[in-house]
């Protein structure tokens, strides 16, 4: 669809260049929905793309209301900074329609200019937040998280300092946004602090109060998930990003005697048991035999998450011995392919660490097998392949193959 644009003549207050600035007509877009951090999604045109006015000559950038006569003490510093800055040189701001790359550059240029002009941190925070939204639109999670972290830090700085009475800033709305951004970047404890503050604050408006209480509950669930995921061996390479993974995970219950999945089913997730037990069954010639009972803290389905391998066994709620009427339901954490992919997009080095871990486990078990010793290195969900005894070079080759499978399954760069 061709976007209908409105043009106007604009004079740059820094270099005095007169140029044509384009914005989409109000009739050419409509709001569809918003994310919990207020990121908007529009049908057809997106007005946020044109929120920043940028001079195509000197690259001075600001919101419309601040694109006016400049403070004398700022002009020299702005000219020097923009002359030496490369942010705007790779983009033509003369085109009527802006690409995502140009939009991102416009917010970065505006942040630079506002910092030099010594505007309050909450304004620069808003620019960083919007830059994060642009990265979200383009699927660049790693860059998005960087901008969200910057926005959170600036909002927190402004909140701790206090807003001017004439600023018309809703400090409680800012507190909610700080909590929301902390949760989105995986700082679960920090998010809980702000949501708890809002839930206890008597001046919190009803709608904001409900939203804060909902997010407080969700952050408590994420904190519990994070605690349960921490001891899982396969997840060790995730390190400091574990909180972010916990935010993306799902917790649910499985009744005793209920099938979670069957042997041979396609798989793209792994599970960690929060409470209760599951029975693991292997099927042979139409008969299923209980081979293992897993309990709290144990994980299974690792290779389905990493490489999309078919389920190697059938898993049923309960230990297979107790009565279904007396045995409690199983509480499970599911790490889905999408959640795992998000982590690897934010921290690509994690995939290499996991491939190294799995290759070492399999190599160690292969070595034990040559001496007729029990294969104990691999967790049950990882020990799927029978491997020959491996020397160092073969293990490195195995690690490369596993890493290639991970990247291929998750659609990541090789």
Q: What is the pTM of this model?
A: 0.87
Tokens of 330: 């199983």
Tokens of 265: 């089913």
Domains and CATH numbers, the chain: 5-224 (no CATH), 250-338 (2.60.120.10), 345-410 (no CATH)
pLDDT in tens, the chain (414 residues): 577 889 999 999 999 999 999 999 988 899 999 999 999 999 989 999 999 999 999 999 999 999 988 988 899 999 999 998 877 777 889 888 899 999 999 999 999 999 999 999 999 999 999 999 999 999 999 999 999 999 999 999 999 988 766 567 788 999 999 999 999 999 999 999 999 999 888 777 788 889 999 999 999 999 999 999 999 999 999 999 999 999 999 999 999 999 999 999 999 999 999 999 999 999 888 788 999 999 999 999 998 999 999 999 999 999 877 666 677 899 999 999 999 999 999 998 999 999 988 888 877 766 655 555 444 444 555 544 434 444 556 778 888 888 899 999 988 876
């Amino acid at each position: 669809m061709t976007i209908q644009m409105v043009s106007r003549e604009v004079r740059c207050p820094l270099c005095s260049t007169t140029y044509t600035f384009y914005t989409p007509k109000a009739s050419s877009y409509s709001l569809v929905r918003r994310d919990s951090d207020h990121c908007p999604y529009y049908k057809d045109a997106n007005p946020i793309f044109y929120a920043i006015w940028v001079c195509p000559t000197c690259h001075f950038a600001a919101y419309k209301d601040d694109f006016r006569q400049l403070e004398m003490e700022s002009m020299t510093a702005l000219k020097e900074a923009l002359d030496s800055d490369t942010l705007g040189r790779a983009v033509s701001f003369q085109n009527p329609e802006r690409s995502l790359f140009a939009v991102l550059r416009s917010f970065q240029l505006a942040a630079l200019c506002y910092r030099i002009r010594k505007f309050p941190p909450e304004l620069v925070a808003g620019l960083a937040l919007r830059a994060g939204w642009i990265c979200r639109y383009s699927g660049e999670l790693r860059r998005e998280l960087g901008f969200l972290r910057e926005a959170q830090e600036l909002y927190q700085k402004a909140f701790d300092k206090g807003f001017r009475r004439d600023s018309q800033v809703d400090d409680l709305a800012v507190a909610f946004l700080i909590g929301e951004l902390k949760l989105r970047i995986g700082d679960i404890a920090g998010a809980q602090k702000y949501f708890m503050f809002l839930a206890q604050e008597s001046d919190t408006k009803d709608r904001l109060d409900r939203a804060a209480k909902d997010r407080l509950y969700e952050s408590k669930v994420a904190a519990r998930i994070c605690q349960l995921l921490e001891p899982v061996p396969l997840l060790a390479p995730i390190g400091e990003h574990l909180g972010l993974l916990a935010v993306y995970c799902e917790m649910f219950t499985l009744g005793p005697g209920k099938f979670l999945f069957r042997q041979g089913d396609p798989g793209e997730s792994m599970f960690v048991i929060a409470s209760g037990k599951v029975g693991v069954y292997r099927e042979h010639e139409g008969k299923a035999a209980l081979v293992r009972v897993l309990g709290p803290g144990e994980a299974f389905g690792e290779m389905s998450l990493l490489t999309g391998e078919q389920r190697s066994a059938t898993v049923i709620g309960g230990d297979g011995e107790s009565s279904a009427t007396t045995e409690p339901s199983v509480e499970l954490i599911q790490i889905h392919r999408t959640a795992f992919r998000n982590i690897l997009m934010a921290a690509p080095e994690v995939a290499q660490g996991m491939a190294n871990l799995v290759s070492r486990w399999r190599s160690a078990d292969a070595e034990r097998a040559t001496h007729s010793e029990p294969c104990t290195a691999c967790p049950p969900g990882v020990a799927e392949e029978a491997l020959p005894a491996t020397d160092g070079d073969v293990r490195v080759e195995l690690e490369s193959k596993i890493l290639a499978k991970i990247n291929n399954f998750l659609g990541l760069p090789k």
